[in-house]
């Protein structure tokens, strides 16, 4: 394990003082990718994660990688397993009752997406950390940010009962929607934009073959459903449920019945049932916090924004954030140029808002809203009719789904 710079014990308070260039809060995809990009450029970084490594790996989340994420893993030389085990997908379906509209991304844009779970990306990044000198401190408790509006910020935390302090030139808040970094912005500085959806997604993971070779997003009178996958032998499905639902009230068979009903003919006869290996309900929200920088503190990933997973953008926005932020840090440490840091927030937000729009739009099109009424349903049918008949409309969906350029 690489020795940290200036790692010395504070005799007065049993405090361990460490120093690095960039302190990263959170070992999710954003923090891990940023840490690796900085280390690859010879910049010191330490990641503080309040959960254990096993807990981080136990979370089942995203499944679709845009080119930006695939390219980042390739740039890091960590794409071997993804290229072996990942599934390139050229298209997906929008189902509306009996109707199946194919969005042929490859034909319309020349590009594909990669089906490879966030869990796998996280594992690949975690396993490569120690050999590449990327320090990750797991189970770091009571992480607190200090002096973020100065040039000498620091982070305090407890580890194995000892107070610890990490001094850094910058702090990257990659601690997700519920982390402390966004809270470290003065109330007068930040502005949040939020939309809460009146339903959640109940997700199930099962070691059964997928019902279809490509993803199916279904708008059914009983609600939205999504047929996705992790491999040719492991399926990931979702159904829209009211926010009042509890996962313990959903036995597997009831979920399989709903999926068979909602996903339409392409799935009904092909769906393979099996015991869930993971089952959870996630709320849906659209959220953006502006700006993404305050002094020496920068936000990236879910710490800055959240999207409803309908557009498969969450993980991929984390990738584009850290692609911008890592370049800005590298310009600073290598050339003492602050321009990248000064423009990071506006540059990242420009792409974030476009992804927020697409995720909101596809969620609005494919879900049944309790208060939409007959007119709202007619709007959905009219839009699906238009998409079914318009190459331009399909191209717009395809280019947003594969990910807009950086
Ligand atoms: P993350 O939330 O992944 O990581 C933040 C890290 O910070 C975590 O490891 C957390 O433990 C740590 N942290 C938090 N507080 C801390 C503290 N005080 N101190 C230290 N560390 C702290 N996206 C999709 O594209 N498709 C999906 O299907 C999908 N499903 C999702 C389901 C759920 C339940 C959730 C919550 C999100 C889902 N997402 C999905 C979005 C998700 O994939 C995120 O976009 C992605 O994890 C973003 O990565 P990070 O920004 O790294 O945040
Ligand atoms: C997933 O496989 O988890 C997944 C795929 C596409 C989405 C959301 C989630 O839009």
Told to judge if 309 belongs to the known catalytic residues of this protein, a careful annotator would answer yes
Quick one: which H or E segment has residue 123? helix 118-127
3-state secondary structure of 140: coil
Pocket of ligand 2 contains residue 309 by CB under 6 Å: yes
Is the pLDDT assigned to residue 131 strictly greater than 70? yes
What pLDDT score was predicted for residue 309? 97
The CA-CA-CA angle for residues 209, 210, 214, to 5°, reads: 145
pLDDT one-digit tens code per residue, 252-279:
999 999 999 999 877 888 999 999 999 9
Taking the complete model, does pTM exceed 0.85, yes or no?
yes
183-215: per-residue pLDDT in tens?
A: 999 999 999 999 999 999 999 999 999 999 999
Residue 138 has pLDDT above 50, yes or no: yes
Q: Report the C-alpha gap between 368 and 194 in whole angstroms.
A: 20
The region of weakest confidence among 84-98, 111-125, 259-273 is 259-273
For ligand 2, pick from 218, 225, 226 the residue to mutate: most ligand atoms within 8 Å of CB. Answer: 226
Contacts of 336 (CB under 8 A, 6+ apart): none
Residue 45's closest CA among 30, 56, 58? Answer: 30
User: pLDDT category, 46, cuts 50, 70, 90?
Assistant: very high
Question: pLDDT value at position 98?
Answer: 83
Task: Give the mean pLDDT of the chain.
Answer: 95
For residue 291, say if its preceding peptide bond is cis, omega within 30 degrees of 0: yes
**Cross-strand pairs, 192:** 289
Nearest alpha-carbon partner for 24 in 349, 330, 297: 297
313 is catalytic: yes
Share of the chain above pLDDT 70, in %: 96
pLDDT grade for 97, boundaries at 50, 70 and 90: confident
Distance (Å, rounded) from C-alpha 355 to C-alpha 404?
8
Q: What is the pLDDT of residues 329-385, one digit of tens each?
A: 999 999 999 999 999 999 999 999 999 999 999 999 999 999 999 999 999 999 999
User: Starting from the edge strand earliest in sequence, which strands make up the sheet with 141-146, in order?
Assistant: 5-10, 15-19, 162-167, 154-159, 141-146
Q: Is the pLDDT of residue 10 over 90?
A: no
Selected catalytic residue, list 36, 309, 332, 367? 309
With residue 126 as reference, give the H or E element that holds it: helix 118-127
Are 1 and 135 contacting, i.e. CB atoms less than 8 angstroms apart?
A: yes
> pLDDT band at residue 60, thresholds of 50, 70 and 90?
confident
- Six token digits for residue 107: 């034909």
- Ligand 1 pocket test: which of 36, 311, 314 has the largest number of ligand atoms within 8 Å of its C-beta? 314
CA gap 133, 286 in Å, rounded:
36
C-alpha to C-alpha distances, 111 to 73, 148, 398, nearest whole angstrom: 17, 41, 9
**Residue whose pair of structure tokens reads 């891990």 in the numeric block:** 32
Q: Find the mean pLDDT for residues 125-134.
A: 97
> In a 10 Å sphere around its CB, with 0-12 CB exposed, 13-18 middle and 19+ buried, how is residue 295 labelled?
middle
Find where tokens 């399989």 sit. Answer: 256
């Amino acid at each position: 394990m690489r020795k940290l710079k200036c790692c010395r014990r504070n005799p007065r308070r049993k405090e361990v003082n460490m120093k690095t260039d960039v302190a990263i809060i959170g070992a999710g995809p954003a923090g891990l990718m940023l840490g690796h990009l900085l280390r690859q450029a010879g910049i010191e970084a330490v990641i503080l994660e309040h959960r254990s490594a096993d807990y981080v790996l136990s979370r089942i989340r995203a499944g679709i990688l845009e080119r930006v994420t695939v390219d980042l893993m390739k740039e890091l030389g960590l794409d071997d397993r993804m290229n072996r085990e990942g599934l390139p997908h050229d298209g997906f379906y929008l189902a509306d009752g009996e109707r199946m509209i194919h969005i042929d991304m490859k034909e319309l844009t020349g590009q594909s997406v990669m089906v490879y779970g966030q869990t796998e990306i996280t594992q690949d990044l975690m396993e490569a950390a120690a050999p590449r000198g990327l320090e990750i401190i797991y189970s770091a408790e009571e992480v607190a940010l200090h002096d973020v509006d100065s040039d000498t910020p620091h982070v305090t935390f407890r580890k194995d009962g000892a107070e610890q302090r990490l001094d850094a030139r910058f702090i990257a808040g990659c601690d997700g929607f519920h982390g402390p970094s966004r809270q470290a912005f003065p109330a007068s500085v930040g502005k949040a934009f939020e939309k809460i959806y009146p339903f959640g997604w109940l997700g199930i993971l099962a070691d059964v073959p997928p019902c279809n070779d490509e993803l199916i997003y279904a708008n059914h009178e009983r609600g939205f459903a999504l047929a996705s996958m992790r491999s040719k032998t492991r399926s990931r499905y979702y159904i829209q449920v009211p926010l009042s639902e509890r996962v313990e009230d959903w036995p597997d068979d009831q979920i399989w019945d709903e999926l068979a009903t909602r996903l339409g003919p392409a799935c009904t006869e092909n769906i393979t049932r099996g015991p869930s290996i993971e089952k959870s309900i996630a709320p849906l929200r659209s959220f953006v916090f502006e700006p993404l920088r305050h002094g020496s503190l920068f936000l990236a990933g879910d710490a800055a924004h959240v999207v409803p997973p309908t557009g498969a953008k969450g993980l991929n926005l984390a990738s584009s954030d850290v692609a911008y932020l890592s370049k800005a840090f590298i310009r600073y440490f290598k050339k003492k140029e602050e321009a990248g840091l000064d423009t990071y927030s506006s540059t990242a937000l420009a792409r974030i808002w476009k992804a927020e729009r697409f995720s909101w739009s596809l969620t609005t099109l494919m879900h049944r809203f309790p208060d939409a009424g007959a007119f709202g349903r007619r709007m959905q049918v009219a839009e699906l009719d238009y998409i079914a008949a318009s190459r331009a409309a399909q191209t717009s969906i395809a280019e947003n789904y594969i990910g807009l350029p950086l």
